[in-house]
């Protein structure tokens, strides 16, 4: 349908990125003459991740890309023929060659929306055979993206609004697809950007990166750059030998710090000079290759002050080992004294970045009052979600031919809510969410300022609520295969996520032992559930 116009469409997922039982069920529907019956599925999760009380919806744009490009190629159909029974009617495979999503409709929460258990992230309607085939790919695309976005949102809440957070987990991610997804949706969840260049190219995620320890250890200090000179930042005046000026500044810095001039590592200083020559307007030093205080700091200061003479401003330093909080405080004190000594006020506010397997507890310490850390790079703990590796989304049939369907099971937690539904968020006067209500699609929407009786899930009694405002949650994104409205940019979805979180009550936003957010049923939906339960048990 749209793969030729969207180079990412096939990259999102291929039709056979699915479980075999989707194909066996498709054959069963086709053989029973039910392939084109209209059906509706809902994709949702049953419990909030990480012990929290909220999630962020994500992955919708990847789902829509996938749907619009969905078409079984000849090679796909031939492979299915090789794994299905050999006596399968060849007409079935001819039918599959014509299958696409031109009759599929999708309603969904906008990306970045607050999401709660049982409330659909996606509603997918269309021919039964087709929407059944979509189950596994959609779960794959939504579950991990939403988990990453939620994890990133939690880390942002811990860090607070002022610290800059960078995702640096590509090398720790579960494969290339997982890495791209993590970089994309950690940004949506509140990170400031990523080290992942492909996420910048394909998704518009801001990217950043400087240098690793290997760059520094590759220098011995005996190397001679082809051109060690640098022109002043203003463009006027003679070029200056930066390495020579750094050596001159090193004498003054070491005298001020009480260090011997030979203590700082020559190779590290040569690496800093080489990097400064390449990036005079974006010079940043990695300080912990040898010794932070006896080598990294004085070498950085010597080069930064030499650049400063030419009108350039170093942008920061990074630490990747040791007690990051304590070292950052010590470095800031040094920067302030050196700034005062040499009358370079820009030096005292230079950014201090840290990284090194930072998790939630480490982040809380780095974000505390009095921390001198400005930028925090997080890898493993954001991309692998160690506290909970899966959101546990499910995709359940709720109607066929306009008639409700419900999964009845001995486990009440796995019972589904039948029928085509609408979802609304009821808001207080201050804009904070009061509860979400699910009702049958044919019911009249709740009205602001009017009392409404609802049944919170898990409660024995009804609540009567009077919302100040009512927001419909599920928007129509795809109708009969066509996109109904343009997607917001990733940056706009990120801003929407942060705005949504800012309105959530603190009791639901707490990261440990939060108050559960209520999701309720209308009278009519609750009655339908009771009726089907009674019918199923009789």
CB 353 within 8 A of CB 375: yes
Identify any residues that bridge with 352 across adjacent strands, giving them in sequence order. Answer: 317
Q: Is 406 exposed, middle or buried (0-12, 13-18, 19+ CB in 10 A)?
A: buried
CB 479 within 8 A of CB 460: no
CB 198 within 8 A of CB 180: yes
Structure tokens at 80: 């299915």
Q: Report d(CA 232, CA 283) in Å as an integer.
A: 15
CB 487 within 8 A of CB 61: yes
Q: Single out the residue of 201, 156, 181 nearest to residue 383, CA to CA.
A: 181
**Interval 296-306: pLDDT, tens:** 999 999 999 99
Q: Report d(CA 148, CA 489) in Å as an integer.
A: 18
Confidence of residue 6 (pLDDT cuts 50, 70, 90): low
Q: Report d(CA 143, CA 492) in Å as an integer.
A: 21
**Alpha helices (H) along 160-241:** 175-188, 197-203, 213-217
For residue 8, is pLDDT > 50? yes
Confidence of residue 462 (pLDDT cuts 50, 70, 90): very high
What is the structure's pLDDT at 218? 98
Gyration radius (Cα) of the chain, Å: 29
Pairing of strands 403-404, 421-427: unpaired
Q: Report d(CA 346, CA 285) in Å as an integer.
A: 16
What is the structure's pLDDT at 537? 56
Mean pLDDT calculated for residue range 2-17: 66
For residue 5, is pLDDT > 80? no
Confidence of residue 172 (pLDDT cuts 50, 70, 90): very high
Give 345's contacts (C-beta < 8 A, 6+ positions apart). 339
Percent of the chain past pLDDT 90, that is, above it, reads 93
**Interval 313-336: pLDDT, tens:** 999 999 999 999 999 999 999 999
Query: Helix (H) and strand (E) counts for the chain?
Result: 19, 23
Structure tokens at 411: 């486990």
What is the structure's pLDDT at 279? 97
Residue 484 DSSP symbol: -
Q: Residue 208, SS3?
A: coil
Confidence of residue 3 (pLDDT cuts 50, 70, 90): very low
342-370 burial, b at 16+ Cβ within 10 Å, e below that, comes to: bebeebeebebbbbeebebebbeebbeee
Q: How far is CA 451 from the centre of its chain?
A: 37
What is the structure's pLDDT at 4? 46
Instruction: Count Cα neighbours of 422 within 13 Å in the Cβ-side half-sphere.
Output: 16
Pairing of strands 519-522, 433-440: parallel
Q: Residue 462, SS3?
A: coil
Looking up tokens 């001679």, which residue turns up? 224
Pairing of strands 375-378, 393-400: unpaired
Q: Which pTM was predicted?
A: 0.95
**Interval 234-252: pLDDT, tens:** 988 999 999 999 999 999 9
**Interval 435-460: pLDDT, tens:** 999 999 999 999 999 999 999 998 88
Q: Single out the residue of 388, 384, 377 nearest to residue 159, CA to CA.
A: 377
For residue 2, is pLDDT > 60? no
Q: Can you state the angle between helices 490-503 and 175-188, rounded to 10 degrees?
A: 60
For residue 536, is pLDDT > 80? no
Identify any residues that bridge with 438 across adjacent strands, giving them in sequence order. Answer: 423, 521
What is the structure's pLDDT at 166? 98
For residue 215, is pLDDT > 50? yes
Q: Is 82 exposed, middle or buried (0-12, 13-18, 19+ CB in 10 A)?
A: exposed
H-run or E-run covering 81: helix 74-83
**90: number of Cβ within 10 Å:** 8
For residue 18, is pLDDT > 90? yes
Confidence of residue 535 (pLDDT cuts 50, 70, 90): confident
For residue 195, is pLDDT > 80? yes
Mean pLDDT of the chain: 95
Cα→Cα distances 480→100, 102, 127, 396, Å:
11, 5, 11, 20
Give 513's contacts (C-beta < 8 A, 6+ positions apart). 51
Residues in the chain: 538
For residue 1, is pLDDT > 50? no
Cα→Cα distances 226→194, 199, 232, Å:
33, 34, 18
In this structure, of 3-12, 35-44, 356-365, the range with the lowest mean pLDDT score is 3-12
Structure tokens at 452: 């409404």
Cα→Cα distances 22→17, 131, 135, 152, Å:
11, 10, 8, 32
Cα→Cα distances 51→55, 380, 520, Å:
11, 19, 20
Structure tokens at 49: 């991740």
What is the structure's pLDDT at 214? 98
């Amino acid at each position: 349908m749209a793969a030729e116009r969207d180079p990412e469409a096939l990259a999102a997922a291929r039709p056979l990125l699915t479980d075999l039982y989707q194909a066996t069920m498709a054959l069963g529907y086709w053989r029973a003459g039910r392939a084109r019956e209209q059906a509706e599925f809902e994709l949702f999760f049953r419990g909030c991740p990480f012990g929290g009380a909220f999630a962020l919806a994500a992955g919708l744009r990847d789902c829509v890309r996938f749907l619009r490009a969905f078409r079984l190629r000849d090679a796909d159909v031939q492979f299915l023929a090789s794994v299905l029974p050999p006596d399968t009617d060849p007409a079935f495979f001819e039918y599959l060659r014509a299958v696409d999503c031109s009759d599929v409709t999708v309603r969904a929460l906008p990306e970045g929306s607050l999401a709660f258990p049982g409330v659909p992230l996606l509603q997918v309607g269309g021919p039964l055979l087709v929407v059944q085939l979509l189950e596994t790919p959609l779960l794959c695309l939504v579950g991990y993206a939403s988990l990453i976005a939620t994890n990133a949102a939690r880390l942002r809440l811990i860090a607070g609004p002022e610290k800059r957070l960078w995702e640096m987990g590509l090398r720790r991610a579960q494969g290339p697809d997982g890495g791209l997804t993590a970089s994309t949706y950690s940004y949506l969840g509140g990170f400031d950007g990523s080290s992942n260049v492909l996420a910048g190219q394909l998704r518009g995620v801001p990217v950043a990166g400087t240098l690793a320890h290997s760059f520094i250890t590759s220098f011995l200090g005996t190397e001679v750059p082809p051109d060690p000179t640098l022109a002043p930042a203003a463009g006027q005046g003679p070029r200056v030998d930066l390495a020579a000026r750094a050596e001159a500044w090193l004498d003054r810095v070491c005298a001020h710090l009480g260090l011997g001039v030979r203590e700082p590592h020559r190779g590290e200083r040569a690496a800093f000079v080489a990097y400064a020559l390449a990036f005079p307007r974006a010079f940043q030093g990695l300080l912990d290759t040898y010794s932070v205080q006896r080598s990294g700091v004085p070498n950085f200061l010597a080069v930064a002050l030499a650049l400063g003479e030419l009108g350039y401003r170093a942008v920061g330093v990074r630490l990747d080992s040791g007690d990051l909080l304590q070292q950052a405080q010590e470095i800031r004190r040094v920067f302030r004294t050196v700034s005062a000594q040499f009358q370079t006020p820009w030096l005292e506010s230079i950014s201090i970045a840290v990284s090194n397997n930072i998790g939630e507890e480490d982040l809380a310490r780095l974000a505390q009052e009095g921390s001198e850390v400005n930028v925090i790079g997080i890898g493993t703990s954001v991309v692998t979600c160690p506290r909970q590796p899966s959101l546990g989304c499910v995709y359940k049939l709720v109607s066929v031919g306009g008639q409700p369907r419900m999964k009845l099971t001995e486990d009440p937690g796995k019972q589904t809510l039948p029928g085509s539904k609408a979802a609304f968020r009821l808001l207080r006067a201050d804009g904070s969410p009061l509860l979400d209500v699910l009702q049958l699609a044919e019911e009249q929407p709740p009205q602001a300022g009017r009392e409404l009786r609802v049944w919170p899930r898990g409660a024995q009694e009804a609540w009567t609520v009077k919302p100040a405002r009512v927001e419909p949650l599920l928007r129509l994104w795809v109708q009969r295969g066509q996109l109904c409205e343009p997607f917001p940019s990733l940056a706009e979805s990120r801003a929407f996520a942060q705005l949504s979180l800012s309105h959530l009550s603190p009791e639901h936003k707490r990261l440990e032992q939060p108050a559960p957010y209520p999701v309720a049923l209308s009278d009519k939906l609750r009655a339908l559930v009771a009726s089907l339960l009674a019918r199923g048990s009789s």
